[in-house]
Amino acid sequence: MNEKLRAKIAADETAYGLWVTMESPAVIEVAAELGLDWVVIDLEHGYLSYEHVANHLRAAKGTDLSVIVRVPSHDLEPTKRVLDLGAHGLVVPLVRSAADVEQIQKYAYYPPRGERGLGGERNVRWGLGLEDYIKRANDEIMIFPMIEVKEATAAFDDIIALDQVEAVIFGPGDLSSSYGHLGQWEAPGVGEEILELVGRAKAKGIASAVVARNADDVVARRDQGFGMVALGSDAGMIVRHVSDIGKALGRTTVDHRWF
């Protein structure tokens, strides 16, 4: 798992992805057919269930697409369940300290690295691939701390110093809210701080990820040094495209400032 994504990070190439909020496995099939490198399935917001995660993973089987899940909390239950379904990695939301990331690592990795328990689920091919999976899992599972609150920026150096942190994901909107600018995607000063943190991470060989809001933003993020850029979210891209068509037709549409 994650071979293509890791190879691009190692080669300092931009890996392009998609944020997934919809339940149809066709979203994953299309992402793979388009040659994207990674997707994040969002369980923190919205209505997706563990069953939806399983179906997305089935759609990705046989491809080199990295399927990462944003869990809703730092708790044991969602961590172990999405990994038992076969997720290739985890996005950790609302990280405030290195200890938050270490907690997820403890739940995600098998002993002696962590405390993950053995199960006979989809990830180990219902027990038929147990031996092979447990030999590889600790090295292959990727964990992505999400930098979206100001406490995380203060603890940033400690977070990127942790073992097996290969990339971090920035949430400009929530980070702006954390600094008192609720509803702004990238408030004054926040963009500059993010880029400074991206540079610090890159100096240590750690990639930075972000969700872009449109085609121009994808190019800008690539040029700013982000190693992982999501082209948008599935639902957001539909809204964006239909809104743009509506504007071309002279119809009143909702402004799409977010992704």
Indicate the DSSP class of residue 158.
H
Amino acid at 165: V
Cis amide linkage into residue 145, ω under 30° from 0: no
d(CA 84, CA 130): 11
45, 52, 56, 74: the active-site residue: 45
Instruction: Give the residue from 113, 157, 164 showing the smallest Cα distance to 135.
Output: 113
Q: How many CA atoms lie within 13 A of 206 on its CB side?
A: 25
Residue 241 bears catalytic tag? no
Taking residue 34's Cβ as centre, other Cβ atoms within 10 Å add up to 11
Residue reference for tokens 């339940």: 23
42 has which bridge partners? Answer: 70
Give the phi and the psi of residue 114 in degrees, each rounded to 5: -145, -150
Helix 26-33 crosses helix 50-60 at what angle (to 10 degrees)?
30
Q: Which residues contact 25 (CB under 8 A, 6 or more apart)?
A: 55, 56, 58, 59
Q: Which residues are catalytic?
A: 45
